[in-house]
Amino acid sequence: MIAPAMALRGVTKRFGSVIALRDVDIEVRPGEVHCLLGDNGAGKSTLIKILSGVFRPTAGEILIDGGPVVFRNPRDAQERGIATVFQDLGMIPLMSISRNFFLGREPLKGIFPFRRFDKDQANTVARAAMADIGIDVRDPTQAVGTLSGGERQSVAIARAIHFGAKVLILDEPTSALGVHQAAMVLKFVIEARLRGLAVIFISHNIHHAYPVGDVFTLLNRGQNQGTYRKSEISREEVMQIMSGGEDLRSLEAEIEGLLSAIAEKESTQPAATA
Amino acid sequence: MAGTDSVAISSKRHGATDERIARTGWLTRLLRRPEAGAASGLIATIVIFALLPGAGALYSLQGSMTFLTLSAELGIIATAAALLIIAGEFDLSVGSMIGFAGIVIGLTVRYLDFPLWGGILSAFATAVVVGYFNGLIVVRTRLPSFIVTLASLFILRGLSIAVTRAVTGRTQIPYILDEIPDPGTAKLFNGEVFTGFFHWMGEMGWIATRSDGTPLVGGVPMSIVWWIGVTAVASYILTQTRFGNWIYASGGDADVARNVGVPVSRVKIILFIGTACAATLLATIQVTEAGSADTLRGLLKEFEAIIAAVIGGVLLTGGYGTVIGAMFGALIFGLVQMGIFFTGIDTDWFKVFLGIVILVAVLVNNYIRAKALGERTAR
């Protein structure tokens, strides 16, 4: 098996007395989509912030290509090839696609004091980089704010791939999207995987995660509930574990009991509602 | 296609045109530019005053030069203010800095026997320090720049008055240009260019002359030259350089910008230094023109600068706008101020008009911003 591009070993994160993550181990390999699944409060957000350098773990270590690393800030993680697409997407709505694409890494031309932002180059490269993974941009000078959620997500992914990310972390990339747009984003996730990136896909939506995932790690209440390859687990089993299995069944029973009680009440007192 | 299509990303690999995207013509594109409102406002203002009585005097060479000088003086500080607002911050200390810089020039030249250039350099050095501290306090404390520079507004004005009175016993410093060793330096700020050309036009009888044959308007004042220069440099920086990209990003979303490696704090501090230096340039022009410094110079100029920028389409919340817009804003401001004077309308009405213009400008800006975003965020 290929060596992991990035790994967490025994990572714990405490906020005061709250234990957000407890002893989590995760390995992501190049050319693999690793889905992190969990319900609200499972610790997904904390985990992503540790992976991307926003938080430092209270205990445990982060390994890149087998060696331990400490991220001082998100920029530090980026420089080591960890590209994170947060839900705010790291883009500025009022700025153009190509200006956003190169923000902080602008191509320059000319000599001092006339060294300037090479806009033509930026437009051409941004358009080409996106065409490369199958996004057709007709006008890279268009403000990012005019794009739909799925399109913005795609631009962010294209940017990460273009700037040579080894590990691509996607935070709920499809959560706010409709069916069509979600499918489009999932296509780009597969595209990134084909290029040999290690993709970490965070989601609470199994229907989006299952088709593209190779490996599934299930988080619940800050703990790793197990890591499974796709061949080892079905969609239904993932759902069972994610929701805490028993809990969901008892909840269903409770709701059914409530509904039948209401129905009974209505049938005995038909005049009251008239 | 001819570049007239609007957006788009399509999910198709070699996407055909997306049927949901309307074609936009060049006119729509032009109207979507941030300074579109200001440009049309300027045209409307020019037309309105052309139809009112006094248009002849207002649009004469002399009248034009007068309102252009007003616009130029405001435009110099409005340009710097526009860059800072686009980066997401305000500087309310600009007006006080004008007074303070004038006092620095006056005191160093008159009481420390500095040559004029030495006095001007001292004023600019002071401006760099003031701007640096304004910026540093804002980025370190993350307090609103509105409050931080409001404090500077009072501190600088108070310092100007207190120090001047302590040293001279008065609140003005007259006769600054008398007996200076370098009168040529003053010409850089209070002189005129194209004097030969204007003289020739006077001789040809094309422009009005005095009885001795010299033209009433001897040339283009240096303040206008400085304004054009400052506008050109600022516009170049904003639209053509990496730093310009960072200015937009800092005002658009400082956290996002920081995360991709934009040195947001440095950008903001540099722009605070920029507004203080612009105030000092204006102070230098005013001191050399009047030959004196006054502790009350520049009163309320900070608001006029912000107003000109906003009229010019700069978004108060940052991240959007142009320097050319601020130039249009300053032109409207100067034109209206002089126009009201020439039409014989009571000049007291200027402020009423100004208030209405601000309100209209802000509404137009919001509309244009929504247009720029294809109205996706406006809903």
* Cross-chain Cβ contact B374/A106 below 8 Å: no
In this predicted structure, what is the pLDDT of residue B134?
Answer: 97
User: Phi/psi zone of residue A67: left (φ > 0), alpha (ψ -120 to 50 degrees), beta?
Assistant: beta
- What are the helix and strand counts (H, E) for chain A? 10, 13
In this predicted structure, what is the pLDDT of residue B75?
Answer: 97
B105-119 per-position pLDDT tens digit: 999 999 999 999 999
Nearest-CA distance B142 → chain A (Å): 19
Nearest-CA distance A202 → chain B (Å): 20
pLDDT at residue A60 greater than cutoff 70:
yes
Does A77 share its domain with A178? yes
- The percent of residues above 70 in pLDDT, for chain B, comes to 90
Does A3 share its domain with A70? yes
Query: What pTM does this model have?
Result: 0.84
Does A217 share its domain with A256? no
| Residues of chain B with C-beta less than 8 angstroms from the C-beta of A134 | 11, 13
pLDDT at residue A75 greater than cutoff 90:
no
The domain ranges of chain B are: 37-370
Q: Which residue of A has its CA nearest to B17?
A: A138
Mutation choice for A interface testing from B5, B23, B260 by most A CBs within 10 A: B260
A253-266 per-position pLDDT tens digit: 888 888 888 888 88
Token pair of A55, please?
A: 């938080």
User: Phi/psi zone of residue A87: left (φ > 0), alpha (ψ -120 to 50 degrees), beta?
Assistant: alpha
Confidence of residue A270 (pLDDT cuts 50, 70, 90): low
In this predicted structure, what is the pLDDT of residue B288?
Answer: 95
Residue A184 maps to a domain? yes
Own/partner pairs, B252-258, CB within 8 angstroms, 24+ separation? B252/A92, B252/A93, B252/A94, B252/A95, B252/B88, B252/B318, B252/B319, B252/B320, B253/A88, B253/A92, B253/A93, B253/B319, B254/B88, B255/A88, B256/A88, B256/A90, B256/A91, B256/A92, B257/A92, B257/A103, B257/A104
Q: How far apart are CA B371 and CA B355, in angstroms?
A: 25
* Across A147-161, B124-138, B219-233, least confident range: A147-161
B263-291 per-position pLDDT tens digit: 999 999 999 999 999 999 999 999 999 99
Q: What is the mean pLDDT of residues A110-134?
A: 86
Q: Which B residues in the span 127-186 are in contact with A, Cβ-Cβ below 8 Å?
A: none
* Count of pairs with CB atoms under 8 A, one residue in A, one in B: 119
In this predicted structure, what is the pLDDT of residue B7?
Answer: 40
Average pLDDT, chain B: 87
Place of tokens 């290509």: A65
Per DSSP, the residues of A79-119 read HTTEEEE-TTTT--TTSBHHHHHTTTS--EES-TTS-EE-H
In this predicted structure, what is the pLDDT of residue B12?
Answer: 41
Does A14 share its domain with A82? yes
In this predicted structure, what is the pLDDT of residue A271?
Answer: 55
Token pair of B356, please?
A: 């209405």
- Asked whether A147 and A62 are in contact (CB, 8 A), the reply is no
Residue A226 maps to a domain? yes
- Asked if the C-beta of A78 comes within 8 angstroms of chain B's C-beta atoms, the answer is yes
Check if the interface score ipTM surpasses 0.90.
no
Q: Which A residues in the span 246-265 are in contact with B, Cβ-Cβ below 8 Å?
A: none
Question: Residue B72's closest CA among B286, B296, B351, B361?
Answer: B286
The residues pairing with B293 across neighbouring beta strands, listed in sequence order, are B173
How many residues does this entry show for chain A?
274
Mutation choice for A interface testing from B237, B245, B264, B322 by most A CBs within 10 A: B245
Domain coverage including residue A273? 244-274
Total domains, chain A = 2
**β-pairing, A6-15 with A136-137?**
unpaired
- Asked whether B70 and B298 are in contact (CB, 8 A), the reply is no
In this predicted structure, what is the pLDDT of residue B246?
Answer: 95
Mutation choice for A interface testing from B17, B24, B235, B242 by most A CBs within 10 A: B242
In this predicted structure, what is the pLDDT of residue A274?
Answer: 45
Nearest-CA distance B44 → chain A (Å): 28
pLDDT at residue B230 greater than cutoff 80:
yes
Give the DSSP letter of residue B215: B
Residues B198, B202, B208, B210: what is their CA dihedral angle, to the nearest 10 degrees?
100
Does A265 share its domain with A198? no
pLDDT at residue A128 greater than cutoff 70:
yes
pLDDT at residue B8 greater than cutoff 60:
no
Nearest-CA distance A265 → chain B (Å): 44
* Cross-chain Cβ contact B260/A90 below 8 Å: yes
* Cross-chain Cβ contact A103/B257 below 8 Å: yes
Chain-centre distance for alpha carbon B303 = 11
In this predicted structure, what is the pLDDT of residue B375?
Answer: 54
The residues pairing with A69 across neighbouring beta strands, listed in sequence order, are A62
Question: Residue A34's closest CA among A192, A152, A140?
Answer: A192
Q: What is the mean pLDDT of residues B161-179?
A: 92
Confidence of residue A248 (pLDDT cuts 50, 70, 90): low
In this predicted structure, what is the pLDDT of residue B47?
Answer: 92
Which residue from B8, B240, B249 is facing A103, i.e. has the nearest CB? B249
Question: A115: buried, middle or exposed (CB in 10 Å: 19+, 13-18, 0-12)?
Answer: middle
Q: How far apart are CA B364 and CA B40, in angstroms?
A: 11
CATH of domain B37-370: 1.10.3470
Residue A106 maps to a domain? no
Does A221 share its domain with A269? no
